[in-house]
């Protein structure tokens, strides 16, 4: 297998199914040796089993690639550190980290339990932070030893994190947090040769098939399947490779054959009177500014 990632090593979390599996297979097809992580949980994060990770690793090896399975929980210190250690012990290096692991516990806010909030925050936010931390520690040490890496991190946000999604307050908040983490990591780690970007994918997976069943129905034979997870993976491969040199701190939406660079929060209309406003004056100024501003993107599922 040869391609953009030939000779490199990539670790992919949540790679037993869906988008993660597609990314792992695409990275292997591009020449990367892959550490396939998956805890093997259900859609709500309960249960565990190393089966899905092992199956994908075996699939890569059957296609002529190199892969090793990791069944640890990357939202724990031990699991995340072991993921990086496995890459180094097995392949002698780590070049790219694709943070993809996650699950859903959807509820309207008034029905959302604290445990559901905590569990989703843990797997998405902590499950991004800890692998990033331990990978970055390794890459920083390499840079300080005079071996500057060409390291790449691809985080996984969501349209729900960029615009919000009704019934997904916990998921939307976690995915928005991943964007913030991406921006900070890109700013802090660039000096060590580490690039950090995020994608907001839309595809047919276990996490989306019920919410978007009608829109995500598979097409007929020979038709382009716009919602196939494999459509997102080419961008992930490029962002994971040396070919993406200079691209960092950016967020991309990816769906079907469409790639969009998201421009995020930036200052819009502003007013400065050079002194403290009264509440009435502040309100009058705010209304004028809102009239001149672009309307926000609609929240998914809002009527």
Instruction: Examine residue 128 and state whether it is found in any structural domain, yes or no.
Output: yes
Give 149-185 pLDDT, tens digit per residue.
999 999 999 999 999 999 999 999 999 999 999 999 9
Q: Show the 3-state SS of 252-298.
A: EEEECCEEEEECCCCCCCCCCCCCCCCHHHHHHHHHHHHHHCCCCCC
CATH number, domain with residue 120: 3.40.50.720
pLDDT at position 267, please?
Answer: 94
Minimum mean pLDDT among 28-32, 41-45, 77-81, 123-127: which range?
Answer: 41-45
* Domain enclosing residue 113, as ranges: 9-262
Contact 107, 167 (CB under 8 A): yes
Q: Is the pLDDT of residue 212 over 50?
A: no
Instruction: Examine residue 144 and state whether it is found in any structural domain, yes or no.
Output: yes
Helix, strand or coil, per DSSP, at residue 186: helix
Instruction: Examine residue 182 and state whether it is found in any structural domain, yes or no.
Output: yes
Give 78-89 pLDDT, tens digit per residue.
999 999 999 999
Contact 100, 156 (CB under 8 A): yes
pLDDT at position 172, please?
Answer: 96
Rounded Cα gap, residues 244 and 72, in angstroms: 29
Is residue 201 left, alpha or beta, with left meaning phi > 0 and alpha meaning psi from -120 to 50?
A: beta
In the chain, the number of structural domains is 1
Instruction: Examine residue 115 and state whether it is found in any structural domain, yes or no.
Output: yes
Instruction: Examine residue 297 and state whether it is found in any structural domain, yes or no.
Output: no
Instruction: Examine residue 22 and state whether it is found in any structural domain, yes or no.
Output: yes
Instruction: Examine residue 217 and state whether it is found in any structural domain, yes or no.
Output: yes
Instruction: Examine residue 64 and state whether it is found in any structural domain, yes or no.
Output: yes
Average pLDDT value for residue range 277-287: 97
Q: Is the pLDDT of residue 45 over 70?
A: no
Instruction: Note the pTM of the prediction, 2 decimals.
Output: 0.91
Residues labelled catalytic: 158, 171, 175
| pLDDT > 90: percent of the chain | 84
Give burial (CB, 10 Å; 0-12/13-18/19+) of 212. middle
């Amino acid at each position: 297998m040869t391609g953009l990632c030939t000779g490199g090593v990539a670790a992919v979390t949540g790679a037993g199914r869906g988008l993660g599996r597609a990314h792992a297979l695409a990275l292997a097809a591009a020449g990367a040796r892959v550490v396939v992580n998956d805890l093997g949980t259900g859609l709500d994060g309960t249960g565990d089993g190393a089966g899905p990770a092992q199956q994908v690793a075996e699939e890569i090896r059957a296609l002529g690639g190199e892969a090793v399975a990791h069944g640890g929980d990357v939202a724990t210190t031990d699991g995340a550190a072991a993921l990086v250690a496995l890459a180094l012990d097995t392949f002698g290096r780590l070049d790219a980290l694709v943070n993809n692991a996650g699950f859903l516990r959807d509820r309207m806010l008034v029905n959302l339990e604290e445990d559901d909030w905590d569990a989703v925050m843990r797997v998405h936010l902590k499950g991004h932070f800890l692998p990033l931390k331990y990978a970055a520690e390794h890459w920083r040490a390499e840079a300080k030893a005079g071996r500057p890496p060409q390291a790449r991190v691809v985080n996984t946000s969501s349209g729900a994190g960029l615009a919000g999604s009704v019934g997904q307050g916990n998921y939307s908040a976690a995915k928005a947090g991943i964007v913030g983490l991406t921006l900070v990591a890109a700013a802090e780690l660039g000096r060590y040769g580490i690039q950090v970007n995020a994608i907001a994918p839309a595809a047919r997976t276990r996490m989306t098939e019920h919410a978007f069943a009608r829109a995500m129905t598979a097409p007929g034979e020979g038709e382009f399947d716009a919602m196939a997870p494999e459509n997102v993976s080419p961008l992930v491969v490029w962002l994971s490779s040396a070919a993406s040199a200079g691209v960092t701190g950016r967020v991309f939406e990816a769906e079907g054959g469409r790639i969009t660079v998201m421009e995020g929060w930036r200052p819009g209309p502003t007013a400065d009177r050079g002194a403290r406003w009264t509440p009435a004056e502040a309100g009058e100024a705010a209304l004028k500014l809102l009239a001149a501003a672009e309307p926000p993107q609609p929240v998914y599922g809002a009527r």
